[in-house]
Amino acid sequence: MNGIARNESLARRFRSIRQITLRLCETLTAEDCAAQSMPDASPVKWHLAHTTWFFETFVLKREGPGYGAFHPRFEYLYNSYYDSVGEQYSRPDRGLLTRPSLEEIGQYRAHVEVAMTALLEDPGGLSQEALDVLELGINHEQQHQELLLTDVKHLLAQNPLRPTFRQLKEIAAVPIRSLEWHQFAGGLVEVGHEGAGFSFDNECPRHRVHLLPFELASRPIRNGEFAAFIEDGGYRRPEFWLSEGFSKVRSDGWHAPLYWQRQDERWWTFTLAGWRPVQSEEPVCHVSLFEADAFARWADCRLPSEAEWEHAAAGRAVEGNLLEGGRFHPEGALARAGHEGPLQLFGDVWEWTASAYAPYPGYHPAAGALGEYNGKFMSSQIVLKGGSCVSPRSHLRASYRNFFYPDARWQFSGIRLARDAASPS
């Protein structure tokens, strides 16, 4: 793609992604957008402003001739973690920012979009390097679309009124696929991003790894299967748990996935469509790495490594229950005729792997402030793969590396089992 065509393509994508973010907020009140439910989550207002700050800071202030910043203190308020840019407002206190108002945040977004549009309409306005940063910013906003929804869910779940974000798009009853196993021979395989399309720096460089023969489950673990783990005393049996995980069970009182509650002798859960009974055939979600690992041990299996998961997903189309479908809730695996290989590798729930989030051989973060985007978080976190029901479709690929601390539960994170396979004779 030549420079002019790329400029036009990214301009269209910029406008589209920015509009999607606003549409996700249509059912929210100003009060919904200001509150913060926990230190790991952020108010909707902050997501709206921070994604705008990214374009202002890394594109407009560097490339826009004569650009005038919307507000001199926004660089401090909406800087997430870029120490090279400057100091940041305390993350756990973002919910205290009653000002600026939601209306003013909307004006900030419009101010930046006008300036960005003017720059993008000039065929010579942005260098290829600047277009790379713009593309990073677009993907960054897609990450925040997903974070916005997960944070809204956690916030609304704290309300005894059990409010509804949006009505759930119900699906017709269909045959549900039973769990099967798919064999992979292993050997020397390549993982990491390849091709000319966008990737984050942590997906590179592509490299070879050796895999022993393994088997991967045909679908994620269902609620009904996880309920059997609970009923078998899974949360009370230390033999299934990593030491740190069992300490969290005791200290935080874990007894079921996040949002599950027992009522009228059955499990109920909070969703973005409000309070509803747990559906046994849907993938279990909002479990930590510790819970996923404990379930796998209970099932006499294990979690896949990142390389195993990526090898199994290589070459598969990104399709499934994703943000664009508007359901915002995992759905059961369909028994589709003619489908080969594991189901639901993309969408529904992020799948925990057994792999630490670490740099690939030969990895080097980008120079300057944008080198802080991924590399400095490569410590004490675990990789998840595949995306969820609130992940944008165009944002995902087999090499995509999500990462969270092992006790994180508020993301749409679930479980896919793996196990060792006998070596071919």
Residue ranges of domains in the chain: 3-157, 181-420
Q: Are 7 and 120 in contact (CB under 8 A)?
A: yes
β-sheet bridge partners, residue 181: 217
Percent of the chain whose predicted confidence (pLDDT) is above 70: 96
pLDDT digits 0-9 by tens, 54-93: 999 999 999 878 899 999 999 999 999 999 999 999 999 9
Residues 6+ apart with CB under 8 A from 175: 334, 335
**Tens of pLDDT along 26-49?**
999 999 999 999 999 999 999 999
131 confidence band (pLDDT: 50, 70, 90): very high
pLDDT higher than 70, residue 172: no
Q: Which CATH class is domain 181-420?
A: alpha beta
Under DSSP, the state recorded for 128 is H
Say if residue 274's pLDDT is above 50.
yes
Q: How far apart are CA 276 and CA 281, in angstroms?
A: 14
- Highest mean pLDDT, choosing among 167-181, 208-222, 334-348: 208-222
Between CA 34 and CA 267 the distance in angstroms is 31
Q: Which two tokens stand for residue 135?
A: 């593309």
Rounded Cα distance, 256 and 267, in Å: 9
For the domain spanning 3-157, the CATH number is: 1.20.120
How does the average pLDDT of the chain come out, rounded?
A: 93
Whole-angstrom distance, CA of residue 367 vs CA of residue 369: 7
Flag whether pLDDT at 284 surpasses 80. Answer: yes
284 contacts 176 by C-beta, under 8 angstroms: no
> Which of these, 396, 410, 416, lies nearest to 322 by C-alpha position?
396
Task: Strands of 325-370 (E only): list them.
Answer: 350-356
Report yes or no on whether pTM surpasses 0.75: yes
Residue 195, pLDDT score: 82
pLDDT for residue 207: 97
Per-residue DSSP letter, 42? -
Residue 302: is its pLDDT beyond 80? yes
Helix, strand, coil percent content, the chain, rounded in steps of 5? 40, 15, 50
Closest C-alpha to 411, from 41, 28, 163: 41
Strand-pair category, 274-277 with 187-191? unpaired
Query: Given this model, what pLDDT does residue 425 score?
Result: 44
Confidence band, pLDDT 50/70/90 cuts, at residue 173:
low
Provide the pLDDT confidence category of residue 337 given band limits of 50, 70 and 90. Answer: low
Q: Which helix (H) or strand (E) holds 54?
A: helix 44-55
